[in-house]
Amino acid sequence: MRRYGTALAAFSACALAGVLFAFALASGVGAQGLATTGSTTEPAPPALIPPGVTIGGIAVGGLSPEAATFTVQERFEQGLPLIFNGRPRLAPSPYALGATVRIEQAVERARNAQPGDEVGLTVLINGDTTRDYVQSVARRFNRESVDAALVLHKLRPKIVPERMGVTILRADLTATIHRRLTAMSRVPVKIRTQKSRPELTHRAFRTTIVIHRGSNRLELFNYQRLRKRFRVATGEKVYPTPLGRFRVVVKWRNPWWYPPNSRWAKGLKPVPPGPNNPLGSRWMGLSVPGVGIHGTPNGGSIGYSVSHGCIRMYIPDAEWLFNTVDVGSQVFIVSA
């Protein structure tokens, strides 16, 4: 009877152990776990970069390698602002400027650095790519100088102002971009330029003469403003004053008059300066042979088309005009 009881107790213990083992399997706990009272083992967290460490001036201390890589990559990919005429005009990516960076190697060095260390960041630059980009900037912003121009608009002179030329200093811009990229700096770059002056400015058109052949009047303009108007005589029908655009090429005081090679002057002799000189006391020759603006002793001809092509003025008017206009002054002769 005692042996029977002992066997029954052993059977019950085995049965209980089997139940507990099955429960442990279902719960994902090994037999060893049941035999110990310790907690389960978890994977070790990734090693963080020591505090105070920077990569290329970017703080990465306390970050995981993955987070540090992302932070440096994000900063590197920021565009570099380019300033032209005081305004941001472009912000190319470093890749467009030919730059690449070795972030993984820098992060690996940062992991093994001492707290507070500065880890350098290697930025590689393709010089040809940078120069090509700078050349595209020059094509966009370079501007040739343009001379001032004078046109006749509604029978009045109109000055189209000159324009300064602008040339990008390409070597300077290339070098500055290189320095910014290698230093991981995104401080805006001011595009430096060189200005070039046009040969002809608006000052060349200080005085302009407009002669109205049909109404026998001469108008003097100071730049674009009418300064004075005169009655004149112009060429008769057989010897008309030419129409077009001319300029004053010579100015003579007390000129001699020489007979031109023309039928009407056949047999005439030169006339020295004096009261009987057909040119009066002043001659302003135009850029057309044999034609000029001059005084006349024959005041009665003023207001009529009676000359041999020249523009006659009262002698005091011719002297005043002579002192006012310059050699090179533009002269428009119109039919109105």
**DSSP output for 279-319:** TTTEEEEESSTT-EEEEES-GGGTTSEEESSSEEEEHHHHH
Averaged pLDDT for residues 130-136: 98
Q: Is residue 14 among the annotated active site residues?
A: no
Residue-number span of the structural domain to which 140 is assigned: 46-198
d(CA 92, CA 78): 9
Choosing from 14, 178, 308, 310, the catalytic residue is: 310
Residue 308 lies in a domain: yes
50 and 173 inside one domain:
yes
Q: What is the pLDDT of residue 7?
A: 38
307 and 226 inside one domain:
yes
d(CA 91, CA 177): 11
158 and 247 inside one domain:
no
d(CA 87, CA 170): 18
280 and 242 inside one domain:
yes
At 2, the pLDDT band (50, 70, 90 cuts) reads: very low
Quote the percentage of the chain above a pLDDT of 70: 86
Average pLDDT, the chain: 89
At 22, the pLDDT band (50, 70, 90 cuts) reads: very low
193 and 216 inside one domain:
no
Q: What is the CATH number of the domain that holds 77?
A: 3.10.20
132 and 260 inside one domain:
no
Q: Where does a domain end: 163, 198, 233?
A: 198
Nearest alpha carbon to residue 162 among 174, 152, 150: 150
**Structural domain count, the chain:** 2
Work out the angle at residue 238's Cα, subtended by the Cα atoms of residues 233 and 241, and round it to the nearest 5 degrees: 45
Choosing from 14, 153, 212, 294, the catalytic residue is: 294
Q: What is the CATH number of the domain that holds 327?
A: 2.40.440.10
Predicted confidence (pLDDT) at residue 67 exceeds the cutoff of 90: yes
d(CA 66, CA 202): 65
Predicted confidence (pLDDT) at residue 312 exceeds the cutoff of 70: yes
Cβ-contact 204, 328 below 8 angstroms: yes
186 and 256 inside one domain:
no
238 and 144 inside one domain:
no
In the sheet where 87-90 sits, what is the strand order? 87-90, 82-84, 189-190
204-217: string of b/e by CB count within 10 Å (b at 16+)? bbebbbbbbbeebb
Cβ-contact 61, 52 below 8 angstroms: yes
Pair of tokens at residue 198: 């046009």
131 and 53 inside one domain:
yes
88 and 150 inside one domain:
yes
193 and 63 inside one domain:
yes
Write out the DSSP string of 71-131. HHHHHHTS---EEETTEEEE---TTTTTEEE-HHHHHHHHHTSPTTPEEP--EEE-HHHHH
Q: Is residue 310 among the annotated active site residues?
A: yes
Averaged pLDDT for residues 292-299: 97
pLDDT in tens, 137-196: 999 999 999 999 999 999 999 999 999 999 999 999 999 999 999 999 999 999 999 999
Averaged pLDDT for residues 239-247: 98
Q: What is the pLDDT of residue 33?
A: 40
